[in-house]
Structure 1
Amino acid sequence: MSLASGITSFLRSLVLPARPDPARSRRIAEVRLVVSAVVVLTVFTAIATRVLLLSTQEANARTAGIALPGAERGQILDRNGRLLATNLPITVLHADPSEIMDPQAAARILAPLLARHDETSLLRLLTKNTRYVELDRKLTPARHKDILRLGIPGVYFRNSQLRSYPSGKLAAHILGQVDKDNKGLAGLEKSLDARLAAGENIQLALDAGVQAIVAREIASQMEIFEAIGGAGVMLDIATGEVIAMVSLPDYNPNHFAKIADDARFNRATLGLYEMGSTFKVLNTAIALQAGTTTLETRYEVSKPLRVARHTIRDFHMHDWKLSVPEILVLSSNIGSARMAAEIGAETQKAFLRRMGLFDKPQLEIPEVARPLVPRSWRKSEIATISYGHGIAVSPLHLASAMSAASGNGMWIEPTLLRRHPAEHPVETKIFSEETTRAVRSMMRLVVKHPDG
């Protein structure tokens, strides 16, 4: 080949490359397709793994009661699904004073739009040596728009949640309340704060309708007797669930700053009182169960009873021996004390302890109290405790003990939370069916008898 033809062939190969081999091109395309598929599959797997990991972390966080960033606080519902505590979206107005170029001008034009502040208080906030000051937590959409139009540098908005209690005062002592940052301060909002903050909804054993009725009736009796306070507890004796629990006076948790100390006090669980003649029901049940008396046994009550340095009297003296049902119906302190003397200190203490009357309840709110019991258990204490003096318990304690003595004989730790149908509460057998049946019959006599 001549030099000229060789150069010509070389130049042609540069301008017009040789036709590629079809088989080789097909192999290259197949390799590219496989590589592309592997890349897409890898990316998809990475995304799916990340989503699954985040979902698992969120589920674990909810289970462990860990608040996730931006998680909406869980709702609280009654046993029928009625909303008792929920959240409302709000707009929070805040500012960074270091970015406010003219605080005086900003205060002057903002003040007419903010109900919480006048120009002076606003200027004080806008000149603080800090990067964050809150100006308003409940900004209406109209005010939001008006302030936005002002375009003040350093003034910002953020979305937040306001805790709301749709039923107002209803079950306030059970629900409790939160602070402005939705941190639980009292009641279930405090004790279950971690679970609620993680977004878990809580269903209560409480029946809102029954709660309202109990509150209304207690308020009515307080008015009649000019009482300064009242409390009531209703339990399901089969499960220990609290169906209603009222303490009056109460408060509206929607108005946190206006709650008086007296209204904040939960008389149903924190208040300790000498329960008086209601303890005669427990005393009678203990005596029957211990076998120290029978329904036919009669006791001398015609004269005051001297026990150590105490003289025990009845409000109305009776000149005949009273049977056990008559002692309960006629509310005889003397008869109850004589029954208790036969029971004895150790047996009396053992029964009261098993009914939870020595211990702080394991209820799901922090506002619970431990009963006040005698340091020494002498004959005088045995006698006075039989008719509810010398020992102070809360209304919840009394309701729980009564449910064992007059119900199915089982003592169950009370709970504010709805039990799952398959859940079996821990039960302590205290009274036989024969004893509880007799107690119920006598309690019916108390309300039916003219002198009961």
Structure 2
Amino acid sequence: MRVSARDMMKDARYAPFAQTSHPHAPVVEPAPGRSRINRLAIVMMAVFGLLAARAVQLSLAGAPASARVAAPVAMPVLARADLVDRNGVLMATMLPSWTLAGEPEKVWDAAQAARRLATVVPGLDAAATERRLRSKSKFVHLKPGLTTSQRRAVHDLGIAGISFEREQRRVYPNGVLAGHALGSVNRDGAGAGGVEAALDADIRRAAEAGTQVALSIDTRIQYALETELADAAWGAKAKGGAGVILDGRTGEVLAIASWPQVDPNAPGAGTDVARLNRATGAVFEMGSTLKPFTAAMALDLDQLRLAERFDLTASLNVDGVTIRDPHPFAGPATIREAMSHSSNVAMAQVALRVGAARQRDYLGRLGLLEKPSIEIGGMPAPLLPRGDSRLTTAVLGYGHGLAPTLVALAGAYTVFTNGGARTNPTMLRHADGDPVRRTRVFSALSTQETLQLMRDVVVEGTARRADLGGLDIAGKTGTAEKPGADGKYDPDVLFSSFAAVFPARAPRYVIVLALDEPQRTAENGNLATGGAVAAPAVGRVVARIAPFLAHAPARPEGPRTGGGTP
């Protein structure tokens, strides 16, 4: 904000310079014989004033450069508290900065000024700056966010007509780490995405109280997730990717990532593909990662037994539509085998036993039919299936027709860490002793039986590549086809994921990782499924973060042998 002479006259700090306009102020009339003397005095004062002004101008021409640059003015901004991770690591703070500005009519050579400024201000576009300095505006902004050292460098150039506005700048010292989750602030200092937007009022109140806002994120876990996600995405030549790690007992988000990454210090940079937060800002069909819920529903309703066998040698016809398995079974299979090898036919049959109404009720309690109430802005609602036909019920059983956010799926998986009760994901650190609100979904027994099925998926099924170093992981892979330009599902355009809990014997943590449109590469065995591209990355993440969580890798049982494709 610039301070004009008129504003100074209104400001009480400059009252001695203000002219009085009080209705009772005394009026002094000049004496009749002194009017000529007064006129002469006025003329002489004007002449001396002009001479003095010229002298000042000449002296400035030979003065140090710093004397010729306009002094900075203060710019009020909204106060914001520091954001720290769960261990007190600084994630966002306020630092003084400067906006480079100019008064075009005072700049003698706009082209030269622009070129010289570009030599000391990183990222300054000389051509655009020259255009601004040639405009007819009295005042123009040239570049926000200058550091104190950059301001000093500009100051030392001594370019007439260049000035600065002092302001407070929101700084994210860890760069791209948790960039999507943190969000950013706009020029006025208000939250403009992520946590900054969702907790805007809380962050301001904390600043007024002189306190910090403690987030649930652990930067060590965040870094591990982001690096492994990036490696997996690069290896699969994916369009994008995302991952979420929760403490299932409290719902705290320990890490949440989207790839490509963004730098909150430069919120306008990057492509639309990079700016999209695939963990919270987009919905996807999750495919077979929903199959454990179908099994848990049927177990909860006594509509399924673990020893039961299904005829999976043929396809299943529902309302005139044929449901097939990518790799048909040679003979009858138990639900364990059906889950391990991700049978669509088996899960469609199980879903039909549950029925449409009860299926919708369970999905609602799992939090998959509405957007999560997590403290991140820009959360879309899920895409829901139309109607409650037998076909809709059947395909929902294996994860088709319902598209939630990845963080919603992670929240639903917390039922496997709480004996069948779901916790809501949160970006705020949970204070010890505070109650945790949970929603009962399944019985403890049906949840435990489903966990056994999920453990089999990792040990001998489609997620065997996640079973690294004897890590005690239980989960389910997912490979969902995405609609093409014609609206039809394209078998070559995939959303591949793996959702898991660990340690399986005493589940506490949830991890979900997905790749958007991975390609079949030699590195992944010419496969782009969840088992080939997402499950190995989850195994590597868990191996890296287990020491932080006091869970060393351990194999609870001997190795098994078995077939199956990822």
Q: State the TM-score, normalized to the length of structure 2.
A: 0.62
Matched, 1:178 2:182: no
Counterpart selection for 1:369 from 377, 380, 383: 380
Residue 344 of structure 1 is matched in structure 2 by: 355
Give distance in 1, aligned partners of 2:79 and 2:135: 33
Residue 202 of structure 2 is matched in structure 1 by: 195
Counterpart selection for 1:430 from 427, 436, 441: 441
Identity of aligned residues (%): 35
Kept in 2: contact 1:103–1:123 (CA 8 A) = no
Matched, 1:297 2:326: no
Kept in 2: contact 1:74–1:86 (CA 8 A) = yes
Kept in 2: contact 1:178–1:185 (CA 8 A) = yes
Matched, 1:327 2:345: no
1:107-122 superposed matches below 5 A: 112-113=116-117, 115=121, 116=124, 118=126, 121-122=129-130
Aligned length: 381
> Unaligned stretches of 5+ in structure 2?
1-74, 461-561
Matched, 1:399 2:407: no
Aligned AA (2:309): R
1:406 Cα offset (Å): 5.4
Kept in 2: contact 1:92–1:138 (CA 8 A) = yes
Kept in 1: contact 2:253–2:426 (CA 8 A) = yes
Kept in 1: contact 2:420–2:444 (CA 8 A) = yes
Give distance in 2, aligned partners of 1:406 and 1:189: 29
Counterpart selection for 2:92 from 85, 95, 102: 85
> Unaligned stretches of 5+ in structure 1?
1-67
Residue 108 of structure 2 is matched in structure 1 by: 104
Matched, 1:160 2:167: yes
After superposition, the Cα gap between the structure-2 partners of 1:214 and 1:103, relative to the gap in structure 1 and judged at 3 Å, is closer
Query: How much is the aligned-residue C-alpha RMSD, in angstroms?
Result: 2.7
Give distance in 2, aligned partners of 1:324 and 1:315: 17
Matched, 1:409 2:420: yes
Q: Tell me the SS of whatever aligns to 1:195.
A: helix
Aligned AA (1:81): G
1:303-322 superposed matches below 5 A: 303-322=314-333
Kept in 1: contact 2:413–2:422 (CA 8 A) = no
* 1:13-32 C-alpha deviation (Å, 9 max, x unpaired): xxxxxxxxxxxxxxxxxxxx
Counterpart selection for 1:219 from 219, 227, 230: 230
After superposition, the Cα gap between the structure-2 partners of 1:420 and 1:226, relative to the gap in structure 1 and judged at 3 Å, is same
Q: Tell me the SS of whatever aligns to 1:391.
A: coil
Residue 125 of structure 1 is matched in structure 2 by: 133
* 1:183-228 C-alpha deviation (Å, 9 max, x unpaired): 3221112222233345253211111111111122222222332221
* 1:125-144 C-alpha deviation (Å, 9 max, x unpaired): 37644456456641544753
Kept in 2: contact 1:405–1:431 (CA 8 A) = no
Residue 8 of structure 1 is matched in structure 2 by: none
Structure with greater helix percent: 1
After superposition, the Cα gap between the structure-2 partners of 1:302 and 1:139, relative to the gap in structure 1 and judged at 3 Å, is closer
* 1:9-60 C-alpha deviation (Å, 9 max, x unpaired): xxxxxxxxxxxxxxxxxxxxxxxxxxxxxxxxxxxxxxxxxxxxxxxxxxxx
Kept in 1: contact 2:416–2:448 (CA 8 A) = no
1:148 Cα offset (Å): 6.9
Q: Tell me the SS of whatever aligns to 2:396.
A: helix
Q: State the TM-score, normalized to the length of structure 1.
A: 0.76
After superposition, the Cα gap between the structure-2 partners of 1:132 and 1:314, relative to the gap in structure 1 and judged at 3 Å, is closer
Kept in 2: contact 1:113–1:143 (CA 8 A) = no
1:174 Cα offset (Å): 0.4
Counterpart selection for 2:367 from 341, 356, 359: 356
Aligned AA (2:270): I
After superposition, the Cα gap between the structure-2 partners of 1:409 and 1:181, relative to the gap in structure 1 and judged at 3 Å, is same
Residue 474 of structure 2 is matched in structure 1 by: none
Give distance in 2, aligned partners of 1:346 and 1:441: 27
Higher deviation after alignment, 385-394 or 130-139: 130-139
Residue 288 of structure 2 is matched in structure 1 by: 277
Kept in 2: contact 1:247–1:268 (CA 8 A) = yes
After superposition, the Cα gap between the structure-2 partners of 1:119 and 1:266, relative to the gap in structure 1 and judged at 3 Å, is closer
Give distance in 2, aligned partners of 1:86 and 1:391: 39
1:405 Cα offset (Å): 4.0
Kept in 2: contact 1:84–1:167 (CA 8 A) = yes
1:408 Cα offset (Å): 2.4
Aligned AA (1:303): A
After superposition, the Cα gap between the structure-2 partners of 1:78 and 1:142, relative to the gap in structure 1 and judged at 3 Å, is closer
Higher deviation after alignment, 173-182 or 378-387: 173-182
Matched, 1:252 2:263: yes
Aligned AA (1:104): W
Higher deviation after alignment, 287-296 or 109-118: 109-118
Give distance in 2, aligned partners of 1:173 and 1:254: 11
1:337 Cα offset (Å): 1.1
Higher deviation after alignment, 316-325 or 164-173: 316-325
